Amino acid sequence: MATSNSGLRSEGLLPAVGVGACVYFALSAVSLGTLGLVGVGAGVGYGVGSWAMDRLKQKRCEKQMDRLPAELKAALGQWQAFLAARCPNRQPSAAEAEGLFAEFAQIEPFCAQQVQQFVVVHGGSTSRGQPAAEV
């Protein structure tokens, strides 16, 4: 009889191991699925947060632009149009921007003066790459 009891023990152990393995794999799949959903949620949250910050910065910029005097708005518009015509679809280097600003100052002296005063007041530079305080 001892042999039949040992056979039953091993037969009872195999289904328990099988059920345990099935439960483990099911919970692992659920855990991986949960991790995937958390990852997707984090990605979407980051994207929405970045979009919201960009919109907030844009709104702040629009509000600040609305407060500028009309002459300065027009001068900045002329400068932007001049840059867009000379450097389409790219940002000029600092040296190139200085040369372009000198050319702009010859063509539109009043607008150039308005832009230069605005840049100096707000901590920028329009000559030789030096900070505004040294200009």
Q: Which residues of the chain have pLDDT under 70?
A: 1-16, 29-30, 32, 35, 123-135
The residue extents of the domains of the chain are 1-67, 68-135
**CA 24/CA 70 separation, integer angstroms:** 70
Identify the pLDDT of residue 61. 81
Identify the pLDDT of residue 93. 86
Identify the pLDDT of residue 106. 92
Identify the pLDDT of residue 129. 42
Identify the pLDDT of residue 126. 53
74's CB contacts (< 8 A; 6+ apart) are 111
Q: pLDDT tens for residues 10-47?
A: 566 666 677 777 777 777 766 767 767 777 777 888 88
Average pLDDT, the chain: 76
**CA 125/CA 17 separation, integer angstroms:** 75
